[in-house]
Amino acid sequence: MSNEQESTGGVRTSSAEGGELRERVFGLRTAVLRSDAVTGVFDRITGRERVFASVQAGFGLGWMLVFLFAPLLYIVSLSFWQRGAGGVVVQEFTLANYEYILTESVDLASLTFKNLYLTILFQSLKYGVFVTVGALLLGYVPAYFLGRTVTKWKAALLLLVVLPFWVPLIIRYYAWILVLGNQGLLVSMLGWVGIEASGFLYTELAVVSGLTQALLPFMILPIYNSVNEIDSSLIESAKTMGATPLRSFYEVTLPLTLPGVSAGVILVFILSVGSYMAPALLGAPSNTMVANLIESTFGQNLDWPLASAMGVVYLFVLFGLISVFNRFVGLDDVFGGGAE
Amino acid sequence: MSSRDELGWAAVKGTTGLVYLFLLFPLLAVVIISFQPSKYPTFPPEGLSLTWYEAFLDSDRMLSALTNSFIVALGASVCAGVVGTITALGFVRRSFPGKNVLSSVLFLPMIISPVVIGVALTAFLTRMGMQKSYLLLIAGHTTLVLPYIFVTVRAQLYGFDRAVEEAAMTLGANELETFFEVTLPLIAPGLAAGMLLAFVISFGEFTATQFWVQPATTTAPIEIYTMVRTSITPMINAMATVLMLITVAVPLALDVLLGKNLILKSGL
């Protein structure tokens, strides 16, 4: 638009042609949008105002019904069926899959897991706690800095927090392999200061630190949002009243950032518990998490009913956690509020 | 500001710098290493070369995986763009019972482990007799990225002045004209930001995708995962750098071209 106004005499002809073309396109669009065929169909849909309202929201909800809820309901029924020879599903009712989950001991990579699934579920929750605590410790200070700084680089600095989120996870974990590996960067850097080390990969530490790094933006952004919303005169008046910087932080800033902290904690915890790639790429077999167990049961052992039962138990735990969190913070606040 | 304040602020700054290093250094290292000729990564790098980029460009497998990722990400972001926009319109402008709970439903694909979504959709569609194809990939990815479009368009709609629509109607535009000539251009920033985000997420998705691909539709993240698990060659660095260029530099450039920091303003 502005180009058109800025154009000078020399290009006036072409811009006039452009204007004519635009006019013609606009005319064509108007003709289509006013044609009986189009408006007729539209009228038929909108004829009943309330029907159309449900149709609008129903687009997304219907999509979720077909591609999320129906599949999830299907694996619930699958979890009560049996696995036949060669991975064929036999549609006969059984509780064997759940019995297996609750009782079976399994040898995996020379380690015996009593109650394999429950042990691994517990391990996933444990890693989730580690990652959440790690992300909170690492994320709070940068979020506070971003919320309080007045530099003109603020937008760029915020962008640097968001950017890693766009990089495919597989690449972020691969980069972590390069850092932690046997001939990795950390080993050679430690070598410069005279410390002998032999790589840190395939350990619990590697899984937890990789996940912490991957999920850190989910902690920083909501906390940043709540720091950013604090009226700085509140902090100033605390100081005027004689509060030390630390005291004004504890009494004013920290309570006001708690909504951001809880949103970040919930997001990071839920996402880390369901992680697949970090344990698969950075961990040893003993660092397996629930998602990996489901994948190997489904993809390698071809035991779809058992994998489904494992998925159902995971969903139960997930929705249990969500309903607990929901008492403190609404899920919609976490996503809708946190992202704005 | 007292000196104690300044000291505290310096500590905040220093910690922030270290966290940025933790966040960004590994990715930077991949880019730097991708330009060095030796087979094993050394740091600092010894010399510059494009050897591994040539190897990458010679690899038909890699190029076809990239093409597949493009097709799927484009399909999913367009599909989710249409569905997400209509849905957000319904949620913001109409009232119906159970709205809050129902809007939470739209966020579920963000929080349920992608392994479970992948397994469930595969099992369900196999049962329905559907073959693994681009269609399955696009439908699956649309489900995964729909929440992002919903959030960005909804945010745009909250700040929307409906008087401009009424003005258009008063001036004789019908409802469709009003939507395409007035409403859509005004929510375009949110929609564009959401679709860019959707493209980027679909392009890099691995975990659910591993259940949905077949050899002909293998995507770039799947190829990289296979390479990382089987034989780590320096070609991965080149491939990873190209993928970062596509998922970071291209959306950023588009963001600057289309408007000012749409993506940043939209939050994620």
Q: Output the pLDDT for position A46.
A: 63
Specify the amino acid at residue A79: S
- Do residues B183 and A43 lie in contact, with contact meaning Cβ atoms separated by under 8 Å? no
**Domain locations in chain A?**
2-78, 97-337
Question: Per-residue pLDDT tens for B27-83?
Answer: 998 998 888 887 766 656 677 888 888 888 888 888 999 999 999 999 999 999 999
Chain B interface mutation, best of A61, A65, A68, highest count of B Cβ atoms under 10 Å: A68
Residue of B24, B152, B243 lying closest to A168 (CB–CB): B243
Question: Per-residue pLDDT tens for B155-197?
Answer: 889 888 888 888 988 898 888 888 888 889 888 888 988 998 8
Answer positive or negative: Cα dihedral of B34, B39, B43, B48.
Answer: negative
Mean pLDDT over each residue of chain A, to the nearest integer: 84
Distance from CA of B103 to the nearest CA of A (A): 7
Q: Output the pLDDT for position B50.
A: 85
* Over residues B150-157, mean pLDDT: 90
Q: What is the CATH number of domain A97-337?
A: 1.10.3720.10
Residue of A166, A171, A339 lying closest to B151 (CB–CB): A339
* Over residues A290-294, mean pLDDT: 95
Distance from CA of A122 to the nearest CA of B (A): 16
- Residue A215, pLDDT > 70, answer yes
- Residue A54, pLDDT > 80, answer no
Which residues make beta-bridge pairs with A251?
none
- Residue B143, pLDDT > 90, answer yes
* Over residues A40-60, mean pLDDT: 69
Q: Which of residues 191-210 of B touch A (CB under 8 A)?
A: 197, 200-201, 203-207, 210
Distance from CA of A11 to the nearest CA of B (A): 23
* Phi, psi dihedral angles at A111 (to 5 degrees): -115, 135
Interface size, chain A vs chain B, as Cβ–Cβ contacts under 8 Å: 292
Residue for token digits 């693994």? B132
With 0-12 / 13-18 / 19 or more C-beta atoms within 10 angstroms meaning exposed / middle / buried, residue B89 is buried
Residue of A33, A56, A244 lying closest to B90 (CB–CB): A56
A301 contact B CB<8A: no
A237 contact B CB<8A: no
Chain B interface mutation, best of A25, A38, A67, A302, highest count of B Cβ atoms under 10 Å: A67
Give the residue among A209, A68, A56, A92 at the shortest CA–CA distance from B119: A68
Residue of B19, B124, B181 lying closest to A70 (CB–CB): B124
> In chain B, which residues have their Cβ closer than 8 Å to the Cβ of A91?
none
Question: Per-residue pLDDT tens for B98-129?
Answer: 888 888 889 999 999 999 999 999 999 999 98
Chain B interface mutation, best of A51, A56, A165, A229, highest count of B Cβ atoms under 10 Å: A56
Nearest CA in chain A to B89: A56
Q: Output the pLDDT for position A83.
A: 87
- Residue A289, pLDDT > 80, answer yes
- Residue B1, pLDDT > 60, answer no
Q: Output the pLDDT for position A6.
A: 41
The answer to whether A57 contacts B91, with C-beta atoms less than 8 Å apart, is yes
Chain A interface mutation, best of B111, B187, B250, highest count of A Cβ atoms under 10 Å: B111
> In chain A, which residues have their Cβ closer than 8 Å to the Cβ of B107?
331-332, 335
With 0-12 / 13-18 / 19 or more C-beta atoms within 10 angstroms meaning exposed / middle / buried, residue A2 is exposed
Q: Output the pLDDT for position B173.
A: 84
B150 contact A CB<8A: yes
Helix crossing, A204-228 with A254-273: angle to 10°? 140
Please give the domain boundaries of chain B with CATH numbers for all domains. Answer: 51-265 (1.10.3720.10)
The answer to whether B180 contacts A271, with C-beta atoms less than 8 Å apart, is no
- The CA dihedral of B84, B88, B90, B96, to the nearest 10 degrees, is 120
* Over residues A164-190, mean pLDDT: 89
Nearest CA in chain A to B146: A60
Q: Output the pLDDT for position A52.
A: 58
Rounded to an integer, what distance in angstroms lies between the CA atom of residue A131 and that of residue B110? 18
* Over residues A235-251, mean pLDDT: 84
A142 contact B CB<8A: yes
Provide the token pair at B246.
């596509």
Q: Output the pLDDT for position B267.
A: 46
- Residue A162, pLDDT > 70, answer yes
* Phi, psi dihedral angles at A202 (to 5 degrees): 60, 40
